[in-house]
Amino acid sequence: MYKITNKQELNSAVTLMDIEAPFVAQKAQAGQFIILRVDEEGERIPLTVSGFDRENGTVRVVFQRVGATTEKLHSKKVGETISDFVGPLGRETKLDGLKKVCIVGGGVGCAIALPIAEKLTAMGCDVTSVIGFRSKELLIFEEEFRKASSRLFVMTDDGSYGRQGNVCVPLNEMFEQGERFDEVITIGPLVMMKFVVLATKPTGIPCTVSMNPIMIDGTGMCGGCRLTLTRNGERMTKFACVDGPDFNGYEVDFDEVMARSSIYRNFERHAYEEACNLFKKEVE
């Protein structure tokens, strides 16, 4: 069993937890993920590592409450435990040799982008960060990004905070002004990453995306997290759990990934509503 040592509600839909998992904490790196089960009857869900404390043996995860399992996890209190916590899985984000990088994060993806920005800054890299949210109420980790970035652009869709517009607005402005980066790293909703890739492609700057598709076992055996890449004119299948989660954004078939990711949307919503009703009854 794995004890929850810290819990914070970052906004109305996103929760941060530090979970005691010393063996995972010793090996975890930025960009990797874990798979957990809340209880022995629960489903397995992947969550990207948002931070770790090797000394205290804890791993940080940040998750959005979108289904029954994330709602069950959110209902857990500090001091309580979860059944399984497996990792680290996947490949760490490759950062060696980078001197100037643009990090583009959207929504809860900013929790994954932050440790990458922090590691790059610790390595002496010049980091520009662009983070985007639907509104001010959903903003997370602004101050942490300021500390980890030489420049920070905060965008909101409705203009309630920072600048109004999506993350491609400052990105395109920088490109138009002749700004160059060794790499653009983007993490967030699929549609956001797709358009960051499209904005970056004319510059020829390498663009890395972090993929988190439907996943079951995390070992490459189930095939649920498969992606189609096109490399040198050849289409190929890769698995996010063992070949990723980071990929060359120019190679990813985003339309296929988005179509597959929507398959269980209605089921997840129904399960989420059932879980919420169950918790309400328990409280009453």
Q: What pLDDT does 109 receive?
A: 93
The answer as to whether 284 is a domain residue is: no
The answer as to whether 229 is a domain residue is: no
Q: Find the CATH number of the domain harbouring 162.
A: 3.40.50.80
Q: Are residues 72 and 108 in the same domain?
A: no
Q: Are residues 115 and 176 in the same domain?
A: yes
What does the alpha-carbon distance between residue 279 and residue 82 come to, in Å, rounded to a whole number? 17
Q: Which of 62, 89, 116 is the last residue in one of the domains?
A: 89
Q: Which of 50, 73, 89 is the last residue in one of the domains?
A: 89
Q: Find the CATH number of the domain harbouring 61.
A: 2.40.30.10
Q: Are residues 48 and 113 in the same domain?
A: no
The answer as to whether 248 is a domain residue is: no
Q: Are residues 78 and 133 in the same domain?
A: no
The answer as to whether 267 is a domain residue is: no
159-173 tens-digit pLDDT = 999 999 999 999 999
Which residues partner with 165 through β-bridges? none
Q: Are residues 23 and 85 in the same domain?
A: yes
Q: What is the mean pLDDT of the chain?
A: 89
85-96 tens-digit pLDDT = 998 999 999 999
pLDDT band at 5 (very low <50, low <70, confident <90, very high): very high
Q: Are residues 97 and 198 in the same domain?
A: yes
The answer as to whether 83 is a domain residue is: yes
The answer as to whether 53 is a domain residue is: yes
Q: Are residues 52 and 117 in the same domain?
A: no
The DSSP result for 246-278, as a single string, is: EEEGGGB-HHHHHHHHTTTHHHHHHHHHHHHHH
Confidence check: pLDDT of 206 > 80: yes
Determine the structural domain holding residue 8 and report its residue range.
Answer: 2-89
Q: What pLDDT does 28 receive?
A: 93
CA angle (282, 283, 284) in 5-degree steps: 90
Please list, residue by residue across 59-86, b when 16 or more beta carbons sit within 10 angstroms of its beta carbon and e when fewer do. bbbbbbbebbbbbbbbbbeeeeebeebb
Q: Are residues 67 and 161 in the same domain?
A: no
Q: How many domains is the chain partitioned into structurally?
A: 2
Q: Are residues 80 and 101 in the same domain?
A: no
The answer as to whether 281 is a domain residue is: no
Q: What pLDDT does 275 receive?
A: 47
17-52 tens-digit pLDDT = 999 999 999 999 988 999 999 998 888 889 989 999
What does the alpha-carbon distance between residue 28 and residue 100 come to, in Å, rounded to a whole number? 24
The answer as to whether 253 is a domain residue is: no
Q: Are residues 130 and 64 in the same domain?
A: no
Q: Which of 89, 110, 126 is the last residue in one of the domains?
A: 89
What does the alpha-carbon distance between residue 125 and residue 120 come to, in Å, rounded to a whole number? 5
Q: Given its phi and psi angles, is residue 187 left (phi above 0), alpha (psi -120 to 50 degrees) or beta? A: beta
